[in-house]
Amino acid sequence: MAKTKWYRRPWVAPFAFVVVAFVAFSLPPYLTLDPADSRVQQPGDYAWYFPALVAHVIFGSVAILTCVLQVWPWFRQRHPVAHRRLGRVYVFGGVLPGGVLAVAIGTVSPFGPLNQTGTVLMGSLWLTFTVVGYRMARQKRFADHRRWMIRSFALTASIMSNRIWGTVASITLIPRLDTTFGGSTIAMTQAIAGFAAWFGWVVPALIAEWWLVERGGARKRRAPVSSAEREPVGV
């Protein structure tokens, strides 16, 4: 199989820039270990919530940073050993602890039941896709491994999509505070958070699945047709 030139994937550099910028903006407030710096409201009855949130942000940052190199075809092909080692960091130092913590903090999210269910389901699928992908690699089923890891990467990167959808929801719903929500800022905030929680990961997951289907179809169309397949079939 021909090796992919590093410059043949022009999306890699912009994706890496966005990821690094996102982590540089999102991570520092939690490194102070001061709840006052948190961008997420802490539920009053759960003392463990903020430490779990800090750990989730750190492990999630590891996952999304390692994801950048893992999805780069040139890196995978030219540095297979580094790809395998970084893959273990992605799984065991990023997704597994980050996903477990996402489920835990999602169950007590202060942003309402819609946000809670969306976060818990996303965390559960994130763990599932990653574990299945890792098992496929261990079984040397590398085509299946790539497919499952693409699904995992889509959910890893969905945290950035979450912020975009949160902005869209805010622009759409804030003007409706006095009409749709009867002046209740709590109801409006929960609606925005719930919208972002669901659209943030569902849209990337659907795009990843569409890409996998289209890519598989394109490969079948490019595959050579055998002489047996070209023979007319009698009826």
Q: Count the neighbouring beta carbons within 10 Å of the beta carbon of residue 226.
A: 8
Cα 180-182-188 angle, rounded to 5 deg = 65
- Helix, strand, coil tally for the chain in percent (to 5): 80, 0, 20
Which is more confidently placed, 37 or 235? 37
The per-residue pLDDT of the chain, averaged, comes to: 89
pLDDT score at 225: 46
* pLDDT for the residue numbered 161: 95
In whole angstroms, give the CA distance from residue 70 to residue 68: 6
For the stretch 15-51, pLDDT in tens is 999 999 999 999 999 999 999 999 888 887 899 999 9
Model confidence, pTM: 0.86
pLDDT bucket at 7, cuts 50 / 70 / 90:
low
| Nearest CA among 140, 27, 153 for reference residue 91 | 153
**What confidence tier does 233 reach under pLDDT thresholds 50, 70, 90?**
very low
